[in-house]
Each structure stands twice: as structure tokens, then as C-alpha cells.
Amino acid sequence: MIRPVKTLIAALAAMAILPGMVVAEGALERLSTSDQGRGWEAVGRLNFDDSGFCTAALITMDVVLTAAHCLFDPADGSPIDPASIEFQAGLRLGRAEAYRGIKRVVVHPEYVFDAAGGARLDGVGVDLALLELNRPVRQGNIRPFPTQLRVEAGQRVQVVSYGRDRAEAPSRESACNVLARDAEMMVLSCEVDFGSSGAPVFAVHEGEARIVSVISAMGQWEGQDVSLAAVMEGQLETLIAEFAMTPVFAPVGKCITVRDALATAAR
């Protein structure tokens, strides 16, 4: 019987929680060729000058979703300057499908970064952020992913991420599982590594891959390494509302909000 996630939180309380790092072995498919990467081009690497990277994914033509903790300097907890961040969509072996700067970063309003520990277990459920690109990505082969917010324990999911020792091309784990969940956090059997923070967690709905969460941290539960991710229902809407406080303009001059654009993408 799978224990409630609240029991997991108590079991993990004494552990060091490392953002986006799991050392368990698993079946990863490296997406090194254009054929292997087809359909996953909207997943990209989020680079922070020369200080490291996370993974992110497009959910509209000009907004990417990632983990909030990626947007803070681990040394002192200060927010990272958006001007120092670059999103490289579909990066593969030194070449990306698109390169974009970041003009705005919005983290979940309830997220608090812990500079001492780097990631707080009680913050996993709100470890979400949206980044607005400096220009939309309009290539026909790069399709932003829709979001589907709810998955249940026992459901199969998959993750596409960059990581340590596989930073130049993404890897896909096509079959891992939601081991447990509560109202805030999901426990996954998915294999990730340093750099995989912010990687999209997908569930397939009617033949279409939809983002259900992003990778936040690691832990160990019942003798196995696990990855932790936010339960997004309710929290993504809160984040969108925060982001939508400032309107953006469509190319044709019609005033829309990011909330409208994301709501359309989620359908």
C-alpha cells in the first residue's frame, strides 16, 4: 500500500533535498537526432550565463514554464537578472531550434527560496515560474505544449529533460509512474539529474502530450530514489493570475492578457 504523501514529507524532513537530482538508473532515450527529437522541440535548456542551466518548456509562443528555484542565485538567494537568462528551444548537439532572451520572470507568489538549503520540501508544491520571452517562437515545428492539471497515483507519466552528462541534448523517459500524491506534491519514479529542474512532466491525453507538472527536487522513499513535482491544479492558475497583472499585446494590435493566451493553450 502506498503511504500518503504527508508521511513521505515526515520521512524526508531530515534529508538534504537537492533541486532536480535523482541518481537512480532508468531507461532514458537520448534525443540526439532530428527524428528522435520531433515533437519535443518546445522543450529547451534555460541557461544562466556560465553558472548553470535548468530545463523549461514553451506553453505559449512567448511563455515558458519552469521551476521557481531555478530563478534564484543559490549562493545568496537573490533573484537572477532576467537579462542573463537565455532559453534555447530544442537544443541538440550545440544547435538550438530557437534562441530567445527573457524579458520578464514571475515566480509563484507563495514560493520562498531557501538560500541555506537551496530547496525546501514544503515549497515543492509552489515551485513554479513563468518566463516571458523577448520574442515569440513562431517556427512551425515548435509547438507549445498544452497543460492538463490533474494526474492520479498509479498513472504513467514521462519526462523530457537536460541534465548532468547529457547537457547537449535532451533525454526522454517515456514510462515512469506517479507513486503517490496529495494536494500539494507528487512523488514520481522518473529519473532526473542536476539540470533537470523545471523539466516538464507529461501525461498523454487523447494521443497528445500535455504538461502536468515540472521537476522540482529529489528524495528517497521506501528504499528507492524518487523525484518530486508540484501538483499544479490551482497553483498554475494562481501563477497565471500573477503573471497576467500586466497585459501583453498581440501582433495585430489586439490587447490580450497572458491569462487568455494560457487558457487557450490549455484547452
Phi, psi (rounded to 5 degrees) for 92: -150, 115
| Total-model pTM | 0.83
Element (H, E) at 102: strand 98-107
What is the pLDDT at residue 1? 28
Neighbours of 73 (CB within 10 A): 14
Instruction: Please report, for the chain, the start and end positions of each structural domain, with discontinuous segments joined by +.
Output: 5-266
Strands 156-163 and 166-181: antiparallel
What is the pLDDT at residue 120? 62
**Cβ(145)–Cβ(82) below 8 Å:** no
Strands 98-107 and 85-89: antiparallel
Q: How far apart are CA 247 and CA 235, in angstroms?
A: 20
- Each residue's pLDDT expressed in tens, for the chain with a length of 267 residues: 233 444 454 444 333 334 443 333 347 777 777 777 688 999 999 999 877 999 999 999 999 999 999 999 988 889 999 999 999 999 998 899 999 999 999 999 999 998 765 446 778 999 999 999 999 999 999 999 999 778 999 999 999 999 877 888 888 998 899 999 999 999 999 988 888 899 999 999 888 999 999 999 877 777 888 899 999 999 999 999 999 885 544 333 333 344 444 444 444
Amino acid code (one letter) for 237: E
The C-alpha cell 529519473 sits at 191
What is the pLDDT at residue 263? 47
Q: Which among 59, 90, 53 has a CA at the least distance from the CA of 197?
A: 53
Query: What single DSSP character describes residue 17?
Result: P
Q: 5-266: which CATH architecture? A: Beta Barrel (2.40)
Cell numbers of 192, please?
532526473
What is the pLDDT at residue 221? 77
